[in-house]
Amino acid sequence: MASEAAVQPTTKRAAHPYHMYDAIVEQPERVAQVLATQRELIESAADAAARKRLVLVGIGTSYHAAQITEHFLRHLTRGRVHALVEQAFELVHYPLALRASDAVIAVSHRGWKNYTAQALQAARAAGALTIAVTGQDCGEGMKAAHFVLPTCEQEISFAHTKSFTTALAVLAVFAIRLAERRGLQGEDAEDARAALQRVPDLMRQTLASEPIIREAAKEMSARQRLIFVGAGPNWATAREGALKVKETSYLASEGFQTEQFLHGPMAEMDPRAALVVLLTGGPGDVRSRSMLRASRELGILRVVVAAAGASEAPAEYRIEVPAAEEWLTPFVHLLVVQLLSYYVAIGRGSNPDTGREDHPQHARARIHFKL
């Protein structure tokens, strides 16, 4: 099947640095490339969508990109533009009544996933504007969109990293332009663009935290359960961190919104768990610090990812990242959770590139479904 061939590494690696690591450290340059070369095309798509209802569509990591984009739009318009976020399978089988007044923005890193392509096809048939945010050399289903916005080259590793942050770069440019065209900016459009232009350098600075990330991940890899918690734009970042752990270490992991974690999931926590908390300097931080103090009582390993200059938070490990405007913090926090998941996999003796496709039982299981 073409999809399986696209996932499997062409040259399998047996030790660090795996292909996933290469992709992680390439991200600042790939994001910079998107910002330098794609703005005109992206803004043309935003102009076409400016007066339409927005429906953001994805699966897995792409669904998380859609969630973060909804936050971009909420921030940039002070909540006056609300985009619907739909999982592609759900949209296909439990559809919205789409029409010409809608714009459907589908995110698919490889561009061949069946249900995302079907969602785009249905949207176009209904007369909606269709926009595909996808990797280079994508599948034919995504090429049928009215606008195709490229992200980066296809990834070798099963665990997607650079295709996620480059998709976010595309979508951030889109969101700024759309807010500008609607006249609903929560901040000046040029200020927002300037802040976005600084992101690649912030990502480069974040990579300098790799030694402490590696140290924290080594201790995390001995735990049986990993939890990621975040709020605002980093609720989806927390979910992405958990997904990356599942994909690379095959370990029980979950991502929660800060308050949601305290309403039930906290009850199952004990010393077998590690907790990663994403602090941005936003309104969720106060509640997160209370959570960290409570976690000490339970013997949980605590890892904090916090902006430089942020007030102290009780934890065994503090991973400091450069300060950024809160709506843009996913770019730097994602690098940290990706590296944490990568080094947890190394600590557990897993190959983070394969998604277990090289295990005979999992290879047989995949025959029964299509990605």
Q: Give yes or no: residues 223 and 320 share one domain.
A: yes
Q: Give yes or no: residues 12 and 90 share one domain.
A: yes
Average pLDDT for residues 313-333, to the nearest whole number? 96
Q: Tally Cβ neighbours within 10 Å of residue 86.
A: 21
Q: Give yes or no: residues 6 and 95 share one domain.
A: yes
- Measured distance CA(155)–CA(5) in Å, rounded: 12
Q: Give yes or no: residues 232 and 154 share one domain.
A: no
Tell how strand 225-230 and strand 147-150 pair up: unpaired
pLDDT of residue 176: 97
Output the six-digit token pair for 256: 């929660």
Dump pLDDT digits (tens) for 270-279: 999 999 999 9
> 3-state SS of the chain: helix, strand, coil percent to 5?
50, 15, 35
Q: Tally Cβ neighbours within 10 Å of residue 348.
A: 17
Picking from 153, 170, 197, the residue at the C-terminal end of a domain is 197
Q: Give yes or no: residues 92 and 225 share one domain.
A: no
H/E stretch holding 14: none
- Measured distance CA(269)–CA(265) in Å, rounded: 7
Average pLDDT for residues 187-209, to the nearest whole number? 95
Is 299 inside a domain boundary?
yes
More confident residue, 247 or 308: 247
Is 149 inside a domain boundary?
yes
- Measured distance CA(273)–CA(308) in Å, rounded: 26
| For residue 7, pLDDT beyond 60 | no
- Measured distance CA(261)–CA(267) in Å, rounded: 9
- What SS3 class is residue 41? helix
pLDDT band at 370 (very low <50, low <70, confident <90, very high): low
| For residue 341, pLDDT beyond 50 | yes
70-79, 153-162, 355-364: least confidently modelled range? 355-364
132 pairs with which residues across the strands?
A: 106, 148
pLDDT of residue 185: 66
pLDDT band at 175 (very low <50, low <70, confident <90, very high): very high
Is 352 inside a domain boundary?
no
Is 82 inside a domain boundary?
yes
In order of 8, 143, 262, 297, the CA distances from 70 in angstroms are 32, 23, 24, 36
Is 309 inside a domain boundary?
yes
pLDDT band at 6 (very low <50, low <70, confident <90, very high): very low
21-35, 185-199, 217-231: least confidently modelled range? 185-199
Picking from 165, 197, 229, the residue at the C-terminal end of a domain is 197
Picking from 197, 228, 262, the residue at the C-terminal end of a domain is 197
Q: Give yes or no: residues 35 and 126 share one domain.
A: yes
pLDDT of residue 361: 86
- Measured distance CA(320)–CA(283) in Å, rounded: 18
Q: Give yes or no: residues 193 and 282 share one domain.
A: no
Is 368 inside a domain boundary?
no
- 249: exposed, middle or buried (C-beta count within 10 Å: 0-12, 13-18, 19+)? buried
Is 139 inside a domain boundary?
yes
Domain count, the chain: 2
Read off the pTM.
0.94
Closest CA to 275 of 243, 259, 298, 307: 298
273 pairs with which residues across the strands?
A: 225
Range of the domain at 340: 207-347
Q: Give yes or no: residues 125 and 226 share one domain.
A: no
Dump pLDDT digits (tens) for 8-47: 445 789 999 999 999 999 999 999 999 999 999 999 999 9
H/E stretch holding 1: none
pLDDT of residue 186: 65
Q: Give yes or no: residues 225 and 129 share one domain.
A: no
The CATH number assigned to the domain holding 135 equals: 3.40.50.10490
Closest CA to 204 of 345, 29, 15, 14: 29
Give the amino acid at 318.
R
Spatial CB neighbours of 76, under 8 Å, sequence gap ≥ 6: 175, 176, 178, 179, 184, 185, 186, 187, 192, 327
Q: Give yes or no: residues 216 and 163 share one domain.
A: no
H/E stretch holding 201: helix 199-207
Average pLDDT for residues 225-243, to the nearest whole number? 97
Dump pLDDT digits (tens) for 49-89: 999 999 999 999 999 999 999 999 999 999 999 899 999 99
57 pairs with which residues across the strands?
A: 86, 106
* Residue 253 near residue 198 (C-beta atoms within 8 A): no
Closest CA to 56 of 41, 68, 74: 68
| For residue 298, pLDDT beyond 80 | yes
Spatial CB neighbours of 72, under 8 Å, sequence gap ≥ 6: 171, 172, 175, 233, 327
pLDDT band at 310 (very low <50, low <70, confident <90, very high): confident
- Measured distance CA(299)–CA(341) in Å, rounded: 21
Q: Give yes or no: residues 29 and 164 share one domain.
A: yes
Q: Give yes or no: residues 310 and 249 share one domain.
A: yes
* Residue 345 near residue 159 (C-beta atoms within 8 A): no
- What SS3 class is residue 167? helix
Is 183 inside a domain boundary?
yes
